[in-house]
């Protein structure tokens, strides 16, 4: 031993320094006020919904020291979103991990993303019965995303009441089952595919308790143009509409703007204030855009529309020749400039 009590050999001496430094660092961490720690923890969170991982917050924060673990477990904002994807065991009525995570959220609005694991390249359906107790117990569930087919539900069975859900997102082919499974009187925002399930969506909109104000629809090859136009006529309460036009949808049909401009009626989107269209340049027809904006200005369609954003996406290098943003014709440009100078907010951008 050295005179100061430190070990002689280099390895032991190095370990002693490392341990001492670690202890000093831990003591420094434990002196940070809890309020400041909570703010720091919140900034460390990945974008919601959070996929649980010991390498990322919030689970990572619980492994630093006992003080951090206690603070993290007591901070409900850290546990207010969860991407829950796993193989579901129908013989297990509940998942302790899921229950513990959602329990820590306390009264925070919760965003829950439900999706079963992949098997042979496909999503495995999850059982509606497995999640009935979960949806009934999470009184603060505000956002729900269903990323897998729903199995095991019966249309004759009583619906699960979900009055707190404000936002529902479903993947292709799941909307009909979700609407048959859930009672959603408080739903405000719906994100769905406008394909074979448009009749079910229209039936949902016709319910007396439905007050949808925000809608995101994804248009596919299976979308029927006549049904889509009829759907728009049912959206009398809509304030925000986002239309996702896939790149190759309208090679044999009409773009969304062409449909709306040609089928405009006094009852078409009467309260719409904001419109977002995700498409490609091959679907953007400037005459149709001008016709639609002219109908908005005249009050025939969307008389209170104030903001419109068109996002053009280039999907790969092979699209360069076709997906180059061309300038509008002179007549269309003059009309667009008059619209903008009148206070209308129009944005056309390209994503590479």
pLDDT exceeds cutoff 70 at 24: no
190 lies in which domain range? 109-351
Copy the structure tokens of residue 191.
């994100």
pLDDT exceeds cutoff 60 at 250: no
* In-domain check, residue 185: yes
Token match 């919030």: residue?
58
Rounded Cα distance between 74 and 289, Å, is 52
Rounded Cα distance between 244 and 177, Å, is 22
* In-domain check, residue 79: no
What mean pLDDT do residues 81-85 have?
A: 85
Q: Beta strand 118-119 with 122-123: parallel, antiparallel or unpaired? A: antiparallel
User: At a CB cut-off of 8 Å and minimum separation 6, what does 204 contact?
Assistant: 179, 210
pLDDT exceeds cutoff 90 at 216: yes
pLDDT exceeds cutoff 80 at 155: no
Rounded Cα distance between 237 and 267, Å, is 11
pLDDT exceeds cutoff 90 at 142: yes
* In-domain check, residue 55: no
C-beta separation of 151 from 180 below 8 A: no
pLDDT exceeds cutoff 60 at 91: no
In this prediction, residue 323 carries a pLDDT of: 47
Tally of structural domains, the chain: 1
What mean pLDDT do residues 246-275 have?
A: 76
In this prediction, residue 275 carries a pLDDT of: 94
In this prediction, residue 211 carries a pLDDT of: 87
Residue 167 sits in a domain whose CATH number is: 3.80.10
* In-domain check, residue 263: yes
The mean-pLDDT minimum among 9-23, 239-253, 262-276 falls in 9-23
In this prediction, residue 25 carries a pLDDT of: 56
In this prediction, residue 1 carries a pLDDT of: 47
Encode pLDDT of 157-189 as tens digits: 678 888 899 999 998 888 888 888 888 999 999
Q: How confident is the model at residue 123 (pLDDT cuts 50, 70, 90)?
A: low
In this prediction, residue 308 carries a pLDDT of: 92
- Cβ atoms < 10 Å from Cβ of 131: 24
In this prediction, residue 17 carries a pLDDT of: 43
pLDDT exceeds cutoff 80 at 23: no
What mean pLDDT do residues 237-252 have?
A: 78
* In-domain check, residue 159: yes
Encode pLDDT of 264-284 as tens digits: 666 678 899 999 999 877 777
Token match 């940070």: residue?
32
In this prediction, residue 87 carries a pLDDT of: 56
Rounded Cα distance between 70 and 38, Å, is 11
- Cβ atoms < 10 Å from Cβ of 111: 20
User: At a CB cut-off of 8 Å and minimum separation 6, what does 262 contact?
Assistant: 254, 291
* In-domain check, residue 320: yes
Q: Beta strand 81-86 with 150-151: parallel, antiparallel or unpaired? A: unpaired
Q: What is the pTM of this model?
A: 0.80
pLDDT exceeds cutoff 90 at 241: yes
For 70, 98, 184, 222, 259, the CA distances from 105, given in Å and listed in that order, are 14, 11, 22, 40, 44
In this prediction, residue 6 carries a pLDDT of: 47
Rounded Cα distance between 254 and 225, Å, is 8
pLDDT exceeds cutoff 70 at 304: yes
* In-domain check, residue 238: yes
Q: Is the dihedral of CA 183, 187, 191, 195 positive or negative?
A: positive
C-beta separation of 157 from 182 below 8 A: no
In this prediction, residue 110 carries a pLDDT of: 92
In this prediction, residue 55 carries a pLDDT of: 87
Interhelix angle 286-298/330-341, rounded to 10 degrees, is 40
The mean pLDDT value of the chain amounts to 79
* In-domain check, residue 274: yes
């Amino acid at each position: 031993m050295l005179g100061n009590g430190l070990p002689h050999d280099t390895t032991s001496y190095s370990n002693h320094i490392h341990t001492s430094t670690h202890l000093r660092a831990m003591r420094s961490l434990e002196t940070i006020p809890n309020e400041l720690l909570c703010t720091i923890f919140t900034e460390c969170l990945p974008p919601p919904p959070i996929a649980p991982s010991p390498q990322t917050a919030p689970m990572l924060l619980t492994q630093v020291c006992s003080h951090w673990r206690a603070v993290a477990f007591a901070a409900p904002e850290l546990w207010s979103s969860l991407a829950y994807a796993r193989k579901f065991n129908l013989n297990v009525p509940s998942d302790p991990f899921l229950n513990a995570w959602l329990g820590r959220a306390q009264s925070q609005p919760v965003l829950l993303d439900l999706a079963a694991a992949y098997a042979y390249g496909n999503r495995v359906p999850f059982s509606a019965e497995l999640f009935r107790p979960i949806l009934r117990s999470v009184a603060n569930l505000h956002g729900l995303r269903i990323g897998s087919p729903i199995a095991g539900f019966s249309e004759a069975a009583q619906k699960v009441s979900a009055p707190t859900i404000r936002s529902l997102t479903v993947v292709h082919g799941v909307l009909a089952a979700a609407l048959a499974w859930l009672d959603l009187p408080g739903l405000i925002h719906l994100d769905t595919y406008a394909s074979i399930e448009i009749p079910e969506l229209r039936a949902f909109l016709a319910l007396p308790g439905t007050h949808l104000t925000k809608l995101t629809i994804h248009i596919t090859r299976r979308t029927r143009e006549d049904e889509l136009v009829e759907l728009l006529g049912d959206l009398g309460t809509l304030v925000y509409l986002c239309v996702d036009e896939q790149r190759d949808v309208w090679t044999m049909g009409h773009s969304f703007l062409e449909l709306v401009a040609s089928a405009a009626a006094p009852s078409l989107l009467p309260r719409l204030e904001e419109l977002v269209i995700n498409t490609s340049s091959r679907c953007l027809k400037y005459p149709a855009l001008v016709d639609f904006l002219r109908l908005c200005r005249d009050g025939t369609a969307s008389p209170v529309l104030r903001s419109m954003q068109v996002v053009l996406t280039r999907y790969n290098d092979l699209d360069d020749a076709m997906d180059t943003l061309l300038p509008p014709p002179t007549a269309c440009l003059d009309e667009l400039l008059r619209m903008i100078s009148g206070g209308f907010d129009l944005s056309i951008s390209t994503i590479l």
